A and B are shown apart, each in its own frame.
Chain A
């Protein structure tokens, strides 16, 4: 994939995140949750459920989705959209793996989701 204007930033090793788990990256706009799925892909979304602010990074990861630990809202890691009957979305951020390292788009992270 090829985004213009990107500034890929190495934020850690893939193995720093357990399979079907997540870690957070702190930014001035709040935390971003970086997920590693069972098939070793990485996704980055806002670490804040739009429902009651639950930390999505602490949710159970299944397939390419995560369940919020507070009230079981389920979000797609690919689109950030709430699944099922719930409505809402979280911002997603470009993420990729290169040589066992996780890369995030620093510009997006620093500018925040609104950019």
Chain B
């Protein structure tokens, strides 16, 4: 006989209860799951990456329809529960009732709204669920939109960082003297504020919100001190309170939350509660780790097993990409407490340990948090630290005379040290999984759930794998180029230069390639690195090129090719157009198309016809457009001053000069340029790898745009007064990219790694370096700026492009 379980709230805690319960008794329960949100269980702590655009809602779903269907869970999503009839044991929504043997309340928490005037204006939202997140994403769509976040705690700052990442102008209003005052001391709060301000987020501490202004919708936020911040969107993230209304109505015992005992049972023996809505020993819970502990206990109680919930210390991390902070324990100043502090202002590193009675009771770290879980272990265990006090702040690597082995720190962790804070997974659990056969991060995630939630402990889990398996586990933190080597692209590039490796065999021998001649992943990359670094010594290897670059045409799905002649700056003339039309007729071209890069594509050419069509096009003065290459593709232009009444400079002329200078050069990935004659930007220069916008006073050079798999606006490299300077900077930028980027990284991806400031220091500020880069580029062009079509209009090439033999005339026996 199945027992009826009704759950109110499909959140992270109840989702975990279901997993434990159904794993133990897959057929024992008839489950009805109510959720006020019109969707099932997702990983709420990952809303911030969704807001910032690093993840999508699909990425954070923890239980999908298949899960519910597989376990025959009756899902009543979008239905708010209105009443619990304890006497008859029935839960009601407006759609009807559901009887229960056991009821689990998991209503979570509700965001706190400060009741200032204007708090109910449209555009004022909280940050709690997917709908809030979507509302913020929608608000950020408007160009130049401004957001004010009220509350500088964990949630508020994650919201602020996400909105900023979406391109909004963001101000954070925080009532207290420093950010995250419950987790950070003032020094760490200062570093955090500095980091956020460096990202362009305005931080206003000691700011009390007086009113939210606006008529039909929010327009601004007014503070007590008179400051006004314009706002298209206000996010209130000042705190949460347990959602207890339904339990109050049912006359359950309530404190600040729903009171539960150690077994997570409420004052009604058939009703349990879990998550942020509960109060246990006068304590509330907001972080995920204790909620998961509670979920285990709830499942055990339902299964009539003994279990008791015991809150443990929790540590905090902020999920904002690029901000590294950690805090645990109690770090308030008090009599009898001593501090050990380490600061490195240059690197923005701050560490503070709080010691009482020779025991570590608190730790705050900013900028470098790798030792966090070790310190957290010392706090939880109450370890006597008198013996290691002198070197304690330097972390486990410096204890007991061990050296600077990067794995020593993790190797030294005790088995009960917590690695994954979200899921409460200790090192011992991971080590047991490894001893049971797990050999990869994916195995560990699947078997223990470690690093399966927010993912910030992934590096630690990998280090546990490395220190436990020894040589059997290669640290993947450094993503190797391919299966042929353990070295990363960056390592290989560095070693090619440092050890002057000038041929593919030299690279493979000296760097210990594991295969005889590489593979389709590493060979094209090595070929590029070698020709870019040693243009005079290395010989391009056609057999290491992808088919398009070997055959100088784009292969199509049916094995035919497309042919695109270059049209300089998008300019053409009747003679060229006639030659294109004649070729289309002569070679029976099935499709002729104008490309997005302002030229003409002849599609469907047979391989054996390539040398002939090239020769014909060559005769009319047309050369290869390199529409197939990891190299310069096109320079798109508008008509500029010649014809346009708005044009400020000769954009067409500049585009042609750039294309004539850069064509034929090989680059890590394709490179597309554009020059617009005025800020109306008809050439769409602001989404190109290099985009120049002409203005009356000169040329604005933007770099790192993208309009493919990702969409990204260029960042301003520099503004220059003359055309010559614009050309110099463009050439220097392309050469810098050629010398430093990883193969198949477009400029915007490379820029994200090295930073625009570094690039500016190299080519805008350092004139010597700019000149040297240009010189190296021009040297390379003396070798590589050749029309590959003209090179292949030879009898030998014609033979090479034809079949080796034709046996179709041979008769079958």
Contacts and interface: CB of A to CB of B under 8 A. Distances in A.
Contact of B559 (A9, A34, A55, A106): A55
Contacts of A72: 520
Interface centre among B518, B545, B547, B806 (most CB of A within 10 A): B547
A17 B804 contact: yes
Given A62-B523, A107-B813, A11 B518 contact: no
A81 interface: no
A58 B523 contact: no
A49 to B, nearest CB: 10
B92 interface: no
Interface string B770-813: 00000000000000000000000000000000011111101111
Contacts of A111: 812-813
B803 A54 contact: no
Contacts of A59: 520, 547
B555 A58 contact: yes
B543 A52 contact: no
Contact of A62 (B518, B810, B811): B518
A79 interface: no
A94 interface: no
B478 interface: no
Given A11-B805, A26-B807, A27-B807, A62 B517 contact: yes
Contact of B805 (A12, A28, A63): A12
Nearest to A52: B557
Interface string A10-36: 011000111111011111100100100
A44 to B, nearest CB: 10
Q: Which of B515, B520, B558, B805 has the most CB of A within 10 A?
A: B805
Contact of B517 (A16, A20, A53): A20
A50 interface: no
B735 interface: no
Interface residues of A, number: 39
Nearest to A36: B543
B629 interface: no
A16 B804 contact: yes
A26 B803 contact: yes
Contacts of A53: 557-559
Most buried by A among B803, B804, B806, B807: B804
Given A18-B543, A19-B543, A67 B807 contact: no
Interface string B518-561: 11100110000000000000000011111100110001011100
Interface in A50-89: 52-55, 58-63, 67, 69-70, 72, 74
Given A110-B812, A110-B813, A67 B519 contact: yes
A115 B584 CA distance: 41
B304 interface: no
A67 B805 contact: no
Contacts of B524: 60
A90 interface: no
Contacts of A16: 804
A74 B547 CA distance: 15
B807 A25 contact: yes
Contact of B515 (A60, A63, A106): A63
Contacts of B722: none
Contact of A24 (B518, B558, B803, B813): B803
A75 to B, nearest CB: 12
Contacts of A23: 803-804
A19 B559 CA distance: 22
Contacts of B555: 55, 58, 69-70
B808 A28 contact: yes
B523 A60 contact: yes
A26 B805 contact: yes
Contact of A25 (B543, B557, B803): B803
Contacts of A63: 515-517
A25 B810 CA distance: 12
Contacts of B805: 11-12, 25-26
A60 to B, nearest CB: 4
Contacts of B523: 60, 62
A66 to B, nearest CB: 9
A63 B518 CA distance: 8
Contacts of B550: 58
B377 to A, nearest CB: 40
A34 B778 CA distance: 40
Contact of A54 (B559, B811, B813): B559
Nearest to A11: B805
Nearest to B519: A62
Nearest to A18: B543
A45 interface: no
Contact of B546 (A19, A24, A62, A69): A69
A28 B807 CA distance: 7
A106 B804 contact: no
B804 A24 contact: yes
**Residue among A38, A62, A72 with the highest chain B CB neighbour number at 10 A:** A62
B810 A106 contact: yes
Nearest to A39: B516
Given A53-B558, A58-B547, A38 B517 contact: yes
B561 to A, nearest CB: 10
A59 B557 CA distance: 14
Nearest to A10: B805
A57 to B, nearest CB: 9
Contacts of B812: 28, 110-111
A-B interface, 4 closest residue pairs, ranked by CB to CB distance from nearest: A23-B804, A67-B520, A58-B547, A60-B520
Given A26-B807, A53-B559, 13 more contacts: A11-B804, A12-B805, A18-B542, A21-B543, A25-B807, A34-B804, A38-B517, A39-B516, A58-B547, A60-B520, A62-B520, A110-B807, A111-B813
17 contacts: A11-B804, A25-B807, A26-B803, A26-B805, A26-B808, A31-B803, A34-B804, A38-B516, A53-B558, A58-B547, A60-B519, A60-B524, A62-B515, A63-B515, A70-B555, A106-B810, A111-B813
